[in-house]
Structure 1
Amino acid sequence: MLKKVLHLTVVEVLLVAFTAVFFSPSAFSEENSLTYLESGLNDLVYDVSRSVVTIEASKPIYPNNYSGNLSEAIYTVLSTGLIYDSTGLIIGLAKSVIDRSNIKIKFEGEIVSAILIGVDYQTGLALLKAQRKIGQPFKPVQNSVCAGQMVLAIGNSFGIRAAPSIGFCAGHLTDGTMQFSASVSRSSEGGGLFTLNGQLMGVITEINGRDAEIGIAFPAYKIDEIVSYLLDHGDRNAGYIGVSTTEIEISPPIEVLLQARINSIQQPNRILVHKGLLISKVVPKSPAAKAGLKENDLIFRANGKMITQPLELANFIKKTDPGTILNFDILRQNSAFAVRLPIGKYQILPAGVTSPISPNDVVTDSIIKEIEILKKTIYELESRLKQLN
């Protein structure tokens, strides 16, 4: 109860301070207003930092040219984790702990050993179990409200266990994750995105941008479901096909007759195609490559459903059980084909290992789309100028 009162007090103090500084100079002196603001932020940061830990995951390495004591050759990854409950369960990122033989949890000078309970390959989260209770569990928000909210991003930064940064939540992406803006370090991945009430809004899963100012977070209200699954069943698998795609629009739309085939029989059927996903990369020996998909193929349907966004396709594939056979409709050189594609098993590469398809490809796809639209606009303007001349 005391903690709830503290959270409300922090928010009220912040609101009063902001109002005094920016809207009502006569209410308080500027010095007093900033003092209230600083005090409120200090209380908030301290309170939520009690749920944040540093995860140190390491394993021995054996380089061919290493001639010293092999026990001294250790590869270590530092990341952030969040305390889930009072039994020692901790949420972290799978890529930071997978394939690591030695996991340590650090919190305010304490070092506690931990084991990996399970990995959720669909979200990239991992569940760890510390040897004993440490810190205090986070309190998740119970809704998905995000856009426009001021948030506190907190996580490990250059050895500091709980380095804070103020930012804003931009909104939800099509796969349900949240995008936010705040200046955070890469090692803050696995940390928390908190409201000004001190409740956990999301787990930071990815940091983007040249200056690490754009982040992606997984919604906190969905964590209970993941923890329950991992405790009951162990790892939760995800599907994989091995392609990177770019969203494109077809104007005017074209009508295609689905009767040709690559590796399956498809009954004749007419369909109007106005959007699709252009394959920009196919991973060699991947399920997509083995099924016959190629670069510049245009995917417009998966199992009879129209697919128009890269994130939509990625989310659909990840939630499909490995071994399931999906039917893809594609366009290749103005001809329609049906492709039967057995879904493979998605693997999370350990931190430091390069993936054949970058996790930023989906973000890059959106940028490419905007560039193409800009090019088209410039071309149309140039054509009009020529007509005027």
Structure 2
Amino acid sequence: MNRTLIHQTRRWLSLSFVALLALTTQACAQEASDHAKSQTPSQSSAAAAPQLSSLPDFTQLVHNAAPAVVSITGVRIIKSDAGEQQAMPDLPPNSPFRQFFKHFFGPNNPFDQPFESKERILGSGFIISSDGYIVTNRHVVVGDTDLKVRLLDRHEYTAKVIGMDKRTDLALLKIDAKQLPTLPLGNSDHLQVGQWVLAIGNPFGFDYTATQGIISALSRNLPDENYVPFIQTDAAVNPGNSGGPLLNLKGQVVGVNSQIYTNSGGFMGLSFAIPINIVKDVIDQLKAHGKVSYGWLGVMVQGMDQSLAQSFGLQQPTGALVAQVEPGSPAAKAGFKSGDIILEFGGKPVKRSGDLPPLVGSTPVGTVVPVDILRDGKHMTLKVKIGKLSEQQMKAAHEKPPADNGHGRMGIATETIPKDKLEALGLKHDAVVIKALNPDGAAAKSGLQVGDIILDFDRHRITSSTELNRLVRQAPGGRPIPILILRDKTPLFTAITLPK
């Protein structure tokens, strides 16, 4: 009897707990429903789509920045020879029409005068000081006459060119005005891929057009632009935007819009801007001297692929491989050798060969810089006193980019043999030795090895890495070229076929 009473009591308590739980759940659901009905539609939308609040609003940024952005116009005189406009037809000597056309196209040709045409240019710029200094691109103002600057308030001023720099494509202008609005300059070293940016300019003459995008890539090296590590963006930039500012969300200038990649003449998703830290140095020099001086190291470097990196004992490609050291250069005086891999310059990492020229170029002439290198598998530091890049060297660098040297076609790095070692090798003249070899390169495929001494290339005596570099660069591709080498003190001819 007691056992039955206990069982019924337990069953009653269990049913009571279930009923209480159901009532509590129903009450909570009703309370939530009442709370939802009491919310306004805007509150409900904000709660449903919180991600929308993270998108930037450029309204205030454009309002603050636009007054310091300027439109630049000018007239460029284009001269051409009369022969480019009028040319006598190429007729046989006995043609009856020859004398007829000679009357019009010969020495007495009335059209045989220099031909001039005028081209109206349009670009952008921005004010960096309240007394009228303006930054723009060199290609916007070079050769221009009647240079005018127009502000947002439609005031127009005659502009004077203070200085231009061909290497970075930058120019500094000056207008006679005071208390002008200015744009603050940021720090391009702090930029990150994916960061929002805004471009303001005058594309196709549409004044003060604002376009937004993100930073697509950093430190882009474009052909013939070794001293500028460009910022790549997808902000729409078109003809007329050149020289305008690229802004971060703080309204600071982080770059100067300079180039676009296009097959059509219009925007195709790739725009390139000059980093503002490069601009600062160039503008300071133009303002002080009217021209720009660049640091000079005196090495020719090349990039590395995985195979070449492994041949130097590296797990992955990194650094700038020294293919050639110019005699008498700062690098030569500091002890650099062909085959050295530059890993750091002045405490800054050199991850690719293209990282080195901007670092060297922006270093003040006369500065002593520590350079970390890898030589024969060992880390060491060399101290080099940076020289001044001359106009002739700058022109040579422009015509012969470091990343495209003759040794690259062969897939080797060489070093001129020291004079005190020539006698031991039985040599009576200077020669070069292969210090590194790309296993997939043309030299390796021809059977050349590290340690081989190159005596002749295509029947030309080789006495320096510079001479070999010149001959390889000029050599035709696609056909065998004879090479005389010295291996284990034994002369040996082999043939190499260079890529076209």
Is TM (by shorter chain) over 0.5? yes
CA contact (8 A) 1:275 1:308 kept: yes
Unaligned runs of 5+ in 2: 1-41, 86-110, 221-227, 327-337, 363-386, 417-463, 467-500
**Cα offsets for 1:97-136 (capped at 9, x unmatched):** 2233332212243331111111234532211111334851
In the aligned structure 2, how far is the partner of 1:274 from the partner of 1:142?
Answer: 29
Change (3 A) 1:219 1:305: closer
Query: Is residue 198–residue 210 contact of structure 2 (8 Å, CA) maintained in 1?
Result: yes
Residue 223 to residue 253, structure 1, CA distance change in 2 (3 Å):
closer
What is the deviation of 1:318? 4.7
> Partners in 2 of 1:248 and 1:169 — Cα distance?
26
The correspondence of residues 14-93 of structure 1 with structure 2, limited to 5 A, is 26-27=45-46, 41-65=58-82, 73-93=117-137
Which is higher, the Rg of structure 1 or of structure 2? 2
Determine helix, strand or coil for the equivalent of 2:236.
coil
1:336 and 2:421 are equivalent in the alignment? no
Unaligned runs of 5+ in 1: 1-22, 257-270, 279-286, 288-298, 342-389
Residue identity matched to 1:59: R
Size of the aligned set, in residue pairs, is 283
- What residue identity is the alignment partner of 1:193? L
User: Does residue 118 in structure 1 map to residue 196 in structure 2?
Assistant: no
Residue by residue over 1:258-305, the C-alpha shift from the partner in whole angstroms, topping out at 9 and shown as x without a partner, is xxxxxxxxxxxxx99977989xxxxxxxx9xxxxxxxxxxx8658999
Q: CA RMSD in A?
A: 4.9
Matched to 1:126, the amino acid is A
Task: Confirm whether residue 217 of structure 1 aligns to residue 273 of structure 2.
Answer: yes
In 1, distance between residues paired with 2:388 and 2:341?
15
Secondary structure class of the residue paired with 1:187? coil
Equivalent positions of 1:158-237 (< 5 A) are 158-173=204-219, 177-208=230-261, 211-221=267-277, 223-237=279-293
Contact 1:255 1:273 in 2 (8 A): no
2:182 partner amino acid: P
| Letter matched to residue 196 of structure 2 | M
Task: State the AA in 2 paired with 1:248.
Answer: D
Spell out the pairing of 1:300-311 with structure 2 (5 A cutoff): 309-311=352-354
Structure 1 residues 348-359: aligned runs within 5 Å: none
Q: How far apart are 1:252 and its partner, in Å?
A: 7.3
CA contact (8 A) 1:149 1:168 kept: yes
Pair 63,164 (structure 1): closer, same or farther in 2 beyond 3 Å: same
CA shift for structure 1 position 167: 0.6
* Residues in 2 aligned to 1:244 and 1:184: alpha-carbon distance in whole angstroms: 33
CA distance in 2, matches of 1:244, 1:185: 34
Tell me, yes or no, if the aligned pair for 2:80 and 2:115 is still in contact at 8 Å. Answer: no
Q: Distance in 1 between matches of 2:47 and 2:318?
A: 57
How far has the Cα of 1:309 moved from its partner?
A: 3.3
Query: Aligned partners of 2:46 and 2:212: how far apart in 1?
Result: 25
Contact 1:300/1:329 (CA < 8 Å) preserved in 2? Answer: no
Q: Distance in 1 between matches of 2:233 and 2:354?
A: 17
Which residue is 2:447 aligned to? none
| Bigger share in strand | 1
Q: Distance in 1 between matches of 2:155 and 2:275?
A: 29
TM-score (norm 2): 0.45
The verdict on how the C-alpha distance between 1:305 and 1:44 changes in structure 2, with shifts beyond 3 A counting, is closer
Following superposition, the deviation at residue 181 of structure 1 comes to 1.7
**Partners of 1:329 and 1:272 in 2: CA distance:** 25
Distance 2:188 2:359 in 1: 23
Distance 1:185 1:64, change over 3 A: same
Give CA-to-partner distance per residue, 1:287-346, whole Å, 9 cap, x none.
9xxxxxxxxxxx8658999987352354367556334989999464657245677xxxxx
Partner of residue 388, structure 2? 321
Q: What is the CA distance between 1:226 and its match in structure 2?
A: 3.2
